[in-house]
Amino acid sequence: MAARVIVTAALVVFIAAGLATVLALGVGGNPSNKEPIAEKRYSLQEYPCLKPAASWRCARLVTPDGFELEVRRLVAAEPDSSVPLIYLQGGPGLDAGFSSSDLEYWQSWRDFAGLKRDLVLMQRRGTDPNSPWRCSQYERLGRKLLGRSVSLQEEFELGRTALSQCLDSLPGFNPRHFGTRQNRADLEALVRLWDFTEFHLYGASYGSRLAIAAADISGLNTLVLDAVYPPGKGGVAEWPTLFGGALDRFAAACESDTSCHEMWQQYYLGRNLDRHNVLEQLHSSLDYLARFPVQVDVMLEGLPQRVVLNDHRFMAAFFAASYRRDRWASAVQAIAAARTRDRKALAPLIERYANQVVSTSVNSLAFFAVDCRDNLPGEEDTYEERVASLGFAGQYVERGWRDQMCHLWPSAEPPVIPTLTNNVRVAMVNGVSDPITPAYWAVQLQKQWADSELTLYPRTGHVVMGEQPCALEQLEIVLSGEQSRFSACP
């Protein structure tokens, strides 16, 4: 479900990312992705699925530290000996989607991809909607703030307070139980206990990081990576570089996209569509909204909601829109509409953003736990130098390093990129205009894994198979070995 990859990894920068709690726990180093073997063992319990999940097999993986992870296996229409595909969703912290409507979606996804094999889905730690490790105070804060005009600094402070109160009320929460290393161990246990002598992996966004870390699990046949997020990349330390690059890629992508270019000409006739002019107009609109916020009426989960649109909230919505090509034109429209206070023209961009803010499909606490365990904080001086190079946009990320919660979160050694064995095939895809997992990360990984294949898709944002149906249509062809790489789309 490529479209389910949520933009939380970016948007948390614009909400609160600080945390003042006593969580400074030491963790020993580990030179590989494998976690030490626990005294208690994993167990897998298969049980009958409830209707209407007749074509599904249901199971529950119980971890040594007490997590109960739901697993769903969509049985192929014509069962045979084909190697199953395990799908690793983005996030981290994203619900795998096991409601009745979600399961119907997965069947449609399987059919569109033409899969002739079982499809396996797995909840990760803390991602179940009913997980006890959810911070309801923090989740509710986003909805509350949408109707208020507060400074970015105040949002950080409110978020830090909400997270602190939340953790005080969750004394059993242990951040050391989260991270890609733990997720990899859970995945390896599932493969072993469900008797997968061979299997394929498809990982999107954060799922691709987990898939990379799992590349040395015995029995892996093919590794498909979408929106490639290698270990050692990302995290707060790299955010200013990613943010600035994303703005540049948006300007270039909009120029080459027909609908985006037409929208630009509609509002800025005679003005060239280039990086300088896009950033100039964006800066002007942000400056206006900082002084004169606009109230925009949107539908929020089916109900009317008034959103107070100030400058930093607009920047967050603009960045979220850069993830998908079908939203680029609305982002350009909103830049112009902000200064004219055209609420109707602003609504499409802001409504999507607001619904992302209140979505419960992502567990923010699990997201933070994994993100902080995976990524080193970096150096403050380096961060500030990168912020200074952003010009006017730097003000929206300048507090990111000082206020990041990871300073007091127990940190483990980040996951590593394992040595690839000769019998594992790797096919990667990445959008050229991807704002959060830039294509050059995939290029670097391809150089490290010399026999891997990489296809870059122009005019494409985050998660290729969510935007390019022709890529998803090739998934079974690649898994079956009929072709070694994904072909470009017309």
More confident residue, 183 or 19: 183
- My answer on whether 241 and 229 are in the same domain is no
- My answer on whether 214 and 240 are in the same domain is no
In the listed set 358, 375, 394, which residue is the last one of a domain according to the structure? 358
> pLDDT band at 237, cuts 50/70/90?
confident
- My answer on whether 198 and 313 are in the same domain is no
166 domain residue, yes or no? no
- My answer on whether 285 and 421 are in the same domain is no
Query: DSSP string of 19-37?
Result: --SS--------SSSPPPP
Report the predicted TM-score, pTM, of the whole model to 2 decimal places. Answer: 0.91
Alpha carbon distance 362, 92 (integer Å): 8
pLDDT of 32 reads 56
pLDDT per residue as tens digits for the range 347-379: 999 999 999 998 888 888 899 889 989 998 888
145 domain residue, yes or no? no
Return the SS3 of 220: strand
pLDDT of 100 reads 87
- My answer on whether 437 and 329 are in the same domain is no
* 433 touches 460 (CB < 8 A): yes
201 domain residue, yes or no? yes
| 305-311: Cβ within 8 A, 24+ apart | 305/146, 305/147, 305/354, 306/147, 307/146, 307/147, 307/350, 307/354, 308/146, 308/147, 308/148, 308/149, 309/338, 309/346, 309/350, 310/149, 311/286, 311/287
CATH number, position 463: 3.40.50.1820
444 domain residue, yes or no? yes
- My answer on whether 199 and 308 are in the same domain is no
> pLDDT band at 6, cuts 50/70/90?
very low
pLDDT per residue as tens digits for the range 185-219: 999 999 999 989 999 999 999 999 999 999 999 99
In the listed set 358, 379, 402, which residue is the last one of a domain according to the structure? 358
- My answer on whether 195 and 217 are in the same domain is yes
95 domain residue, yes or no? yes
Average pLDDT of the segment spanning 60-84: 90
pLDDT of 13 reads 40
- The two structure tokens encoding residue 72: 């769903």
- My answer on whether 440 and 461 are in the same domain is yes
13 domain residue, yes or no? no
Alpha carbon distance 131, 365 (integer Å): 11
- My answer on whether 298 and 352 are in the same domain is yes
Domain limits at 321? 236-358
pLDDT of 2 reads 39
298 domain residue, yes or no? yes
- My answer on whether 250 and 210 are in the same domain is no
382 domain residue, yes or no? no
pLDDT of 275 reads 87
More confident residue, 2 or 37: 37
Structurally, how many domains does the chain consist of? 2
Tell which residue, 476, 481, 488, 467, has the closest CA to residue 2.
Answer: 467
Inform me whether the pLDDT recorded for 21 exceeds 60: no
Alpha carbon distance 168, 59 (integer Å): 33
- My answer on whether 96 and 113 are in the same domain is yes
In the listed set 320, 340, 358, which residue is the last one of a domain according to the structure? 358
* 295 touches 342 (CB < 8 A): no
- My answer on whether 250 and 227 are in the same domain is no
Alpha carbon distance 75, 103 (integer Å): 12
More confident residue, 407 or 100: 100
